Amino acid sequence: MRASFFDARRLIEYLSSVQGEQRQKLVEELGFHATLIFVQSDLVALLFLVSVTMQNVQIAIIGSGFGGIGAAIRLKQEGFEDFMIFERADEVGGVWRDNTYPGCACDVQSHLYSLSFVPNPDWTHSFSPQAEIWDYLRKCARDYKLLPHVRFGHMVTEAVWENDQQRWRIETSKGTFMASLLISAAGSFSEPKLPQFRGLETFKGKMFHSSRWDHQFEIKRSRIAVIGTGASAIQFVPAIQPQVEKLYLFQRTPPWIVRRHDRPFAQLERKLFRRFPVVQLLMRAGIYSFREVLGFAFRHPWAMKLLQPLARRHLKRSVADPVLRAKLTPNYLMGCKRILISNDYLPALTQPNVELITDGIAEVRQHSVVGNDGVERAVDAIIFGTGFHVSDFPFAGRVRGRAGRTLSEVWAGSPKALAGTTVAGFPNLFLIPGPNTGLGHSSVVYMLEAQIEHVLTALVYMRRNGVAAIEPRSEAQEAYVARVDKSMRGTVWTSGGCLSWYLDTTGRNSTLWPTPSWRFRRRVARFAPREYVME
């Protein structure tokens, strides 16, 4: 049951008609403070309305993906109960709720790509499919009793730091909230990126982004243009190829692709994980360590050159035609863009109903796409596998700090934060994920967890010392960012000869963490008061 402010009067009348425990339960369900008193007069109704439209909470979390859910669970475990999660959708799950395209799955093994404090012995595959990951997140929310904290359908439109009150004013599509602390877990892959082509608006067929898959559209026997060859496209292209009449794949840059070593877990294995959690823990540690060894190659391009033949061999085995193979061979060092894993993408491209186009798009017409090769290809649908707004942090435009400027304005195209999490001029704001907290070789959830622990150490410090507001000292933040940038130099991401979505508009890699991931965890595990201004 949800309250609309216009219904407040009727709601009060209704509440007046129910008694005792039932009323208390209703009040809690509605999400108002349980201290709500029995009200009848119009004046009190007005006060009630004000209190409903301006709710107070200690901690506000924006988003209910891995970041938001992980933060909420850890807050509860540490005894912080006064928090709300604002979620614009009607379900928890983040990218795993939104990306329902055929073939969607994680590309880091599930036993690592999950919350360490909520192990799941029941993963069915090494790389579990989207539905299973989404179920896992929903189960986390249910099991840890997070749902009463979630305000669904609350799109956060703006968050403004109120200097005099030392609190965040959070404007949502369903009212205003005040919070002492703001954890932004709005995601780096939550805003689809759409390309601009001449005539795109005139197209009369179906158009959608991979993360907003239109399941009403009959894909069978239709002619499809797929734009983009990134991590999502290489999953859905082989899934739809056998069904479509024609698939035109528009590729700007070929990705490096290696084999995907997926396998189902036998019942016996799952039983073993359930009975002896340490076995699952060892498995997680093994996957983590292997990936960290791989991480070395990203920091030392000469080592990456030694690994590159693996991908070349995979390409040669999958694609016999030398002309097609040439089009699929990257001209930059492996790892510079995200390395993709697939066994069926390259073989799908060799099928007679697939055409790979590498000259780009000249224009889109009502029922066709015209390539720069001058060929007009009739299509029923255009599917964008064009990725997300990552390095520009779309949510940053909605957060206004101490000086009234937004994060986007302060960052001016290049996001920077202390410990990848806190920003000078933005008190009591924690960004998970934040700048330079992504990984090219391992699980993002590992980094989110490290950041969550950082938030908790800060919170505990504030509680113990009666601190109302903290924000990083500019010089501490600058020194931190300078160290990150220094470590980034010479990595495959900056010297591999490609332009990737890791780079921001200034050309800086503000997306990835450049050294072993355990170093990030160690660095942010402690809260160093000297790096902060406190009030």
Ligand X SMILES: Cc1cc2nc3c(=O)[nH]c(=O)nc-3n(C[C@H](O)[C@H](O)[C@H](O)COP(=O)(O)OP(=O)(O)OC[C@H]3O[C@@H](n4cnc5c(N)ncnc54)[C@H](O)[C@@H]3O)c2cc1C
**Between 339 and 378, how does the x/- string for binding to ligand X read (CB under 6 A)?**
----------------------------------------
209 binds ligand X (CB under 6 A): no
108 binds ligand X (CB under 6 A): yes
Query: Which residues face 169 on adjacent strands?
Result: 160, 178
Tokens of 15: 């509440």
CB of 74 to ligand X, least distance (A): 13
Candidate segments 163-171, 309-317, 443-451, 492-500, binder of ligand X by CB under 6 A: 443-451
Pairing mode of beta strands 399-400, 156-162: parallel
Which amino acid is residue 342, in one-letter code?
Answer: S
Q: Are 405 and 423 in contact (CB under 8 A)?
A: no
Report how far residue 159's alpha carbon sits from residue 282's, in angstroms, rounded to the nearest whole number: 42
From 63, 69, 184, 114, select the one nearest 445 (Cα to Cα). Answer: 114
Q: Are 383 and 221 in contact (CB under 8 A)?
A: no
In three-state form (DSSP H/G/I as H, E/B as E, the rest C), the secondary structure along 217-233 is: CCCCCCEEEEECCCCCH
107 binds ligand X (CB under 6 A): yes
Tokens of 379: 């299509």
95 binds ligand X (CB under 6 A): yes
383 binds ligand X (CB under 6 A): no
64 binds ligand X (CB under 6 A): yes
Pairing mode of beta strands 361-365, 368-371: antiparallel
Give, for 70, the enclosing helix (H) or strand (E): helix 66-77
Among 433, 435, 440, 514, which residue sits at the site for ligand X (rule: CB under 6 A)? 433
**Between 165 and 194, how does the x/- string for binding to ligand X read (CB under 6 A)?**
--------------------xxxxxx----
Report how far residue 472's alpha carbon sits from residue 464's, in angstroms, rounded to the nearest whole number: 19
CA angle 497, 500, 505 (to 5 degrees): 110
- Choice between 91 and 363, CB closer to ligand X: 91
**How many chain residues bind ligand X (CB under 6 A)?**
33
**Between 221 and 250, how does the x/- string for binding to ligand X read (CB under 6 A)?**
-----------x------------------
Report how far residue 103's alpha carbon sits from residue 130's, in angstroms, rounded to the nearest whole number: 8
Candidate segments 65-73, 138-146, 303-311, 517-525, binder of ligand X by CB under 6 A: 65-73
Give, for 97, the enclosing helix (H) or strand (E): helix 95-98
415 binds ligand X (CB under 6 A): no
Among 11, 73, 83, 99, which residue sits at the site for ligand X (rule: CB under 6 A)? 99
Among 52, 60, 83, 94, which residue sits at the site for ligand X (rule: CB under 6 A)? 94
441 binds ligand X (CB under 6 A): no
Report how far residue 135's alpha carbon sits from residue 137's, in angstroms, rounded to the nearest whole number: 5
- Choice between 48 and 384, CB closer to ligand X: 384
CB of 385 to ligand X, least distance (A): 10
Binding site for ligand X (CB under 6 A): 62-68, 86-89, 94-95, 99, 104, 106-108, 113, 155-156, 185-190, 232, 395, 433, 443-445
